[in-house]
Amino acid sequence: MSLITPDFGLLFWMVIIFGAVFFLLAKFGFPVITKAVRERSEHIAESLRAAEEARLSLERLTAEQDRILERTRQEQARLIKETTDERNSIIAKASEEASAEAAKVMQKAREEIAAEQELARRELRSEVSALSVAIAEKIVRKELEDTGEQKALLDKFVDEAVHSQMN
């Protein structure tokens, strides 16, 4: 027997043992191995599908988040604009009311000043008239005999009274 060329009997028994081992592996080993490989393959495929679904879901959520942020920004801009417009309106209204009130106060003050001036003029005229009459009375008593001077003096008093009433 040589190491390089096997004998026929050895070959026979090697084929029989190989067949038996192959049969046992085919009957009990390969189905378990193929089942495990198939399950692993299905698990990997399902994990890939789940990952793809998660990616798509994440993209949808990101897009929805972007839409919500954009709507929020638009709403914020709208609210700021409305608030600014309302503030400007309130300021303008308050300014108009203040101007109207100031105009009323000024008009009332002018009317009061005019009334006070008129009252002061009347009092002054009354006092001037009374004073003129008193002076004229004294002068007339003093100089009853000189009618020319009395007439000139009375004309002067009348002119002054008329002139003062006009002012």
- pLDDT tens figures, 132-158: 777 777 766 666 556 666 677 777 777
What are the pLDDT digits (tens) for 26-54?
Answer: 899 889 999 999 999 999 999 999 999 99
Rounded-to-integer distance, Cα 42 and Cα 48, Å: 10
Q: What pTM was estimated for this model as a whole?
A: 0.42
Q: What end-to-end distance do the CA atoms of the chain give, in Å?
A: 164
Structure tokens at 115: 């009334």
Positive or negative, the Cα torsion across 99, 100, 105, 109? positive
- CA–CA dist 32, 48 (Å, integer): 24
141 or 116, greater pLDDT:
116
C-alpha distances in angstroms, 14 versus 2, 27, 28, 30?
16, 19, 21, 21
pLDDT tens digits, 53-106: 999 999 999 999 999 999 999 999 999 999 999 999 999 999 999 999 999 999
DSSP class of 167 = -
- By the 8 A CB rule, do 135 and 141 touch? no
C-beta separation of 155 from 136 below 8 A? no
Distance between CA atoms of residues 59 and 156, nearest Å: 109
Amino acid at 12: F
